[in-house]
Structure 1
Amino acid sequence: MPVFTRLRRPTRTTEPTRTTEPTRTAEEGREGEGHSEEEKQRDGTSEAPAAPDPAPGDSPRDSTPGSPGALPLVFRALRARHARLRTEHPRATRAARWTLHGLAAALIVGALLLPNTAGALRPDRFTRIPAEAIIGAVLLLALPRRPRIVVAALYGAGIAVLTVLNVLDIGFNEYLGRGFNVVLDWGLLDDAQHYVEDSMGGATATAAAVGAVVLALLLVVVMALAAVRLSDLLARHRTRATRGALIAGTVWITCSALGLQISGVPVASDRAAAALKVQGKRVRDTLRDEAAFEKVARTDPFAGTPSDQLLPDLRGKDVLITFIESYGRTALEDPVIAPGVTGTLDTGTESLAKAGFAARSGWLTSATFGGSSWLGHSTALSGLWIDNQQRYRTATASDRLTLTKAFGKSGGWDTVGVVPGVQKGWPEAKWFGLDKVYNAFRLGYQGPKFSWSTMPDQYTLEAFQRLEHSKKRDGNKNLMAEIILTSSHQPWAPLPEMVGWDELGDGSVFGPVQKAGKQPGDIIADTTKSRREYGKSVEYSVTALTQWLERYGTDDTVLVFLGDHQPIARVSGLRASRDVPVTIVARDPKVLDKVADWNWTEGLRPDRDAPVWRMDAFRNRFLKAYGSVPHPAGG
């Protein structure tokens, strides 16, 4: 038999060959708790081997910048460098890592507790326990790695968006006395930029706009990264994190049930959830309001009134309806502001009385606060409560009979608008019923701007006198003018001063006055200075108007002047009313007799307890007082 040689196979060991690993500290061992080595490497918690240098025979595509293989090489190099740093400087690396953890936690918790008003920005508001942080931690602990990272990034980005809305709320509350409406108010940010540009220069406005956008985007990115970092930390310490979340939830429920507070602030917080609820309610109410307001706008008791039955008791009179910017109740009642303003009003009452004029004054509650003057103008003249931009668009797209349009429809008046604040197209002029409009470029002014205001009120009134009031009307018509006085518009620096009426010329006389005035930056951040300068601006506007009436008013002149809204909340206060003064001045006693039953105060200064109406009631009351007959369309 042939002899077969038996080949012996190598003996296999029962245990895998062990490789030597670097010794890890106890802290690093605990950090890796609950993860496989593969998962820890994906999370970046395990030591990664240094990337080997590319072999001479490797494809050049792998290392050429911009090639498909370049990016992985960069990542591997960074990971290798990080691994070396951890090995060479373990304490510094650990300290830096936990510092970043702490900053991420502080950022997330601080954002969840951020209030939406400047007055609530106090340290005790940030010592609370946010329910949203506990719920977020529980959710992230329950998710696998990849869904956890996605959810954490979305969670952080969502908190960032909520933070931006809270910051916008702070700004809107500080200036307009109300929160930010995510449906309607984005357009006002563009107006805010133009305001900054007119007040502080184009470079400042551009820098502020770019800076705000960059900060908002950066906040979203940083918040997302912070949330992902914290989610990784929770996953690495899953057992202890689960136990901590349970304890925190129990403490939150206990504090909420017992109503525990620190310095009057509840320990248990659901601030972020409440903010989302408020924003949601605003959106819901806004969407519902659009259809409801459209129906109200179509209901007009004077829509069908024949022209000969409109304002018959004012025929033969030149009627001037004048809005004074930011002329609010605060100007007459604030202890810092009021002495100068009330003294100016009392002086004006006396001087007008010597010229044969009498006046009656009351209060109107404006539809707006701190800004958006067009809402106040349209509310007073249309008889509609127009308190947001959506309502304004709906109203101006309708055929509503405004008070100014009623004068034109009657056939007895030419209608003119003097609007020095308008520096672009103004299609609403047709809705207001104005035959002719003088904007910032049609009044002949060659002097300097005074911050936002394109020209001093004294010049505006003199230009109106020259261009319209002094002219004879064709066809036995009289003049009705809507005049907007802008010198009392924020930021109230620099302010114009009265000059001789015969010295006004083309306005160049105001050059030295403007140069000698304060700069916006000198007062814009100082509440006390802003209040004082605001008071001076109202004194100037009232003085210019009353002196104009003394100088150019006739037996047939009827002046109605009122404020469009209160000054910004930083000046008038967060809890200030929305009331503004309204005054009718005439030399003919029959004009004031028609409103005797209104019980308004004699003179230019309304008493504190004088009647207060909503501003949308003014149109109907004025039309009825001067003989207009209600006649709904189709009635």
Structure 2
Amino acid sequence: VAVVAGAVLGALTILNLLDIGFNEFLGRGFNVVLDWILLDDAEAYVKDSLGGTAATVAVIGVVVLAVAVLVLMALAVLRIGNVMARNSAVATRTTLVLGTVWVMCAALGVQVAGAPFASRSTTALVQDRAERVRKTLKDEREFAKVAAVDTYGDTPGDQLLTGLRGKDMIFTFIESYGRAAIEDPAIAPGVDKTLKNATKRLNEAGFASKSGWLTSATYGGSSWLGHSTFLTGLWIDNQNRYRTVTAGDHMSITRAFQRTGAWRTVGIMPGVQKAWPEGKFYGLDHVYDSRDLGYKGPKFSWSTMPDQYALKAFERLEHGKKRDKPLMSEIILTSSHQPWAPIPKTIPWSEVGDGSVYKAIQKAGKKPADVFTDPDKVKTEYGRSVQYSVNSLIDYVLKYGNKNTVLVFLGDHQPLARVSGDNASRDVPVAIVAHDKAVLDRISHWGWQDGLMPGDKAPVWKMSSFRDRFLDAYGPNRSY
């Protein structure tokens, strides 16, 4: 009994440590049903950020620590049990007295320095874990029913997106581009200046823009949950929901474009480094992952290539080619992914080439370990990475866009708590850029603000509400 009790306490200690890590990086506790798969991602992240040796050492350290906690806790409880057995009379009296005191203090709510004297945290923790498992299993069943209902699922293609026919559509997610980038005093000055300058440059080139806020379904990471929530109109905040929706036929925004037959649909996914069968669910005619973009340069920590290169590859492979129909593209920009070091630099588009030019830039950049562990540097470098991503995207639109270009770009989630702050919101900026005034006229009733930088008075929507609002605004019967 003592060994089993010790092992249980050890397991609860490990779960507490996982909770601490998940709260730091993802803003939520560890889900014992769904989150084991994310440990592989954590190992890959450490490898990309700090190198293979560091990742190996970290994995070995974690395994040794987990085993040690289980074994030592079991031995400790066993030792206490043996001591009590050898001194049964004293142990019985002591247990009776302490038990009585504990019950009385618990009943009276006695506290010491603001904490309960008679703690029931272990029991509460077990109850909480059991309740999380129950809710997870219930949620899986209920969400399957929700995902099966689609207000636009049976809409014929000729009745979808009629207000955007002939436009080259670009949907872009900027990694970790959250509200903190625009409002945190330590980050905002540089980012706000970049957004204001970008708005001015767009206006001078004949483009206009409107922006607002969306509340993401994820925080700190798990970007694919934010992507799928935005595109499907479903609230996808865990892996089970993601698997459920991508295994079905719920219509995404990107698939709506494909259904019309009026667009070629492509995905530019530099963060995807292996097979990605979900591309079929999203209705993408062709997906270019990190292996298809022709990059010959170095990785920038987790990011497989600079955003400017990914956009240049998009121009070379798809956007710059002659086509018999306009293009709808989904592009994921990854240069603003943690640990935000080293950060690429903007270079002339003609010098991008196959990416070899970035070797010197990457070598001269800051070290991930030096930045990520410093609370001041990490905010500064995060802001610089967002500025780089935004500048790369706007530079691309100004150089390669035309009167039929329409850009929708947004963040997928807030950065982790070390950057965005404890108890930060899950809001991310979203903007629509167009040369044709009629495109923005169709969303005039949204209440979005002019420019790329939404303010305090801009509306805040759940990210899952965007799909239906978008399809409604650009449908055939929209009156404005």
Q: Tell me the TM-score range normalised by the shorter chain.
A: over 0.9
Distance in 1, matches of 2:301 and 2:347, equals 19
Give how far 1:254 is off: 2.9
Distance in 2, matches of 1:508 and 1:608, equals 42
Q: Match for residue 428 of structure 2?
A: 580
Which of 309, 319, 338 matches 1:469?
A: 319
Structure 2 CA distance for partners of 1:191 and 1:628, relative to 1, 3 Å: farther
Greater alpha carbon shift after TM alignment, 557-566 vs 256-265? 256-265
Q: Secondary structure at the match of 1:179?
A: coil
Give how far 1:465 is off: 1.0
Distance in 2, matches of 1:629 and 1:263, equals 63
Q: Match for residue 421 of structure 1?
A: 271
Distance in 2, matches of 1:330 and 1:564, equals 13
Which of 161, 165, 183 matches 1:315?
A: 165
TM-score (norm 1): 0.74
Give how far 1:345 is off: 0.4
Q: Match for residue 397 of structure 2?
A: 549
Q: Match for residue 241 of structure 2?
A: 391
Q: Match for residue 563 of structure 1?
A: 411
Which of 607, 610, 629 matches 2:455?
A: 607
Cα distance per residue 1:272-313 (max 9 Å; x no partner): 111111111110000001110000011001111011001000
Give how far 1:629 is off: 6.9
Q: 2:153 is aligned with what amino acid?
A: A
Q: Match for residue 15 of structure 2?
A: 165
Q: Secondary structure at the match of 2:461?
A: strand
Q: CA RMSD in A?
A: 1.1
Q: Secondary structure at the match of 2:63?
A: helix
Are the aligned partners of 1:310 and 1:629 in contact in 2 as well (CA < 8 Å)? Answer: no
**Structure 1, gaps ≥5 residues long:** 1-150, 631-635
Distance in 2, matches of 1:353 and 1:430, equals 37
**Structure 2, gaps ≥5 residues long:** none
TM-score (norm 2): 0.98
Distance in 2, matches of 1:499 and 1:248, equals 71
1:533 matched to 2:378? The reply is: no
Q: Match for residue 222 of structure 2?
A: 372
Q: How does 1:121-136 map to 2 (within 5 A)?
A: none
Q: 2:306 is aligned with what amino acid?
A: P
Distance in 1, matches of 2:281 and 2:335, equals 25
Q: Match for residue 520 of structure 1?
A: 368
Distance in 2, matches of 1:537 and 1:261, equals 47
Give how far 1:574 is off: 2.5
Which of 293, 305, 309 matches 1:459?
A: 309
Q: Match for residue 65 of structure 2?
A: 215
Where relative contact order (Cα < 8 A, 6+ residues apart) is larger, the structure is 2
Larger radius of gyration: 1
* Off by >6 Å, runs of 4+ in structure 1: none
Cα distance per residue 1:214-234 (max 9 Å; x no partner): 211121111111111100111
1:269 matched to 2:119? The reply is: yes
Distance in 1, matches of 2:426 and 2:261, equals 35
Distance in 2, matches of 1:220 and 1:492, equals 35
Q: 1:380 is aligned with what amino acid?
A: F
Distance in 1, matches of 2:101 and 2:375, equals 41
Give how far 1:370 is off: 0.4
Distance in 2, matches of 1:271 and 1:588, equals 60
Q: Secondary structure at the match of 1:269?
A: coil
Give how far 1:609 is off: 2.2
Distance in 2, matches of 1:347 and 1:484, equals 23
Are the aligned partners of 1:379 and 1:615 in contact in 2 as well (CA < 8 Å)? Answer: yes
Distance in 2, matches of 1:352 and 1:629, equals 30
Q: 1:170 is aligned with what amino acid?
A: I
Q: Match for residue 129 of structure 2?
A: 279
Distance in 1, matches of 2:92 and 2:374, equals 49
Q: Match for residue 598 of structure 1?
A: 446
Q: 2:407 is aligned with what amino acid?
A: L
Greater alpha carbon shift after TM alignment, 577-586 vs 217-226? 217-226
Which of 428, 432, 442 matches 2:292?
A: 442
Q: 2:351 is aligned with what amino acid?
A: E
Distance in 2, matches of 1:452 and 1:326, equals 13
Distance in 1, matches of 2:252 and 2:295, equals 29
Distance in 1, matches of 2:154 and 2:30, equals 38
Distance in 2, matches of 1:248 and 1:322, equals 62
Are the aligned partners of 1:309 and 1:629 in contact in 2 as well (CA < 8 Å)? Answer: no
Task: State the percentage of identical aligned residues.
Answer: 61
| Number of corresponding residues | 478
Are the aligned partners of 1:302 and 1:629 in contact in 2 as well (CA < 8 Å)? Answer: no
Q: How does 1:194-213 map to 2 (within 5 A)?
A: 194-213=44-63
Q: 1:615 is aligned with what amino acid?
A: M
Q: How does 1:120-159 map to 2 (within 5 A)?
A: 151-159=1-9
1:504 matched to 2:352? The reply is: yes
Greater alpha carbon shift after TM alignment, 498-507 vs 558-567? 498-507
Cα distance per residue 1:354-388 (max 9 Å; x no partner): 11111000000100010000000001000111100
Which of 133, 140, 146 matches 1:296?
A: 146
Q: 2:11 is aligned with what amino acid?
A: V
Q: Match for residue 332 of structure 2?
A: 484
Q: Secondary structure at the match of 1:268?
A: coil
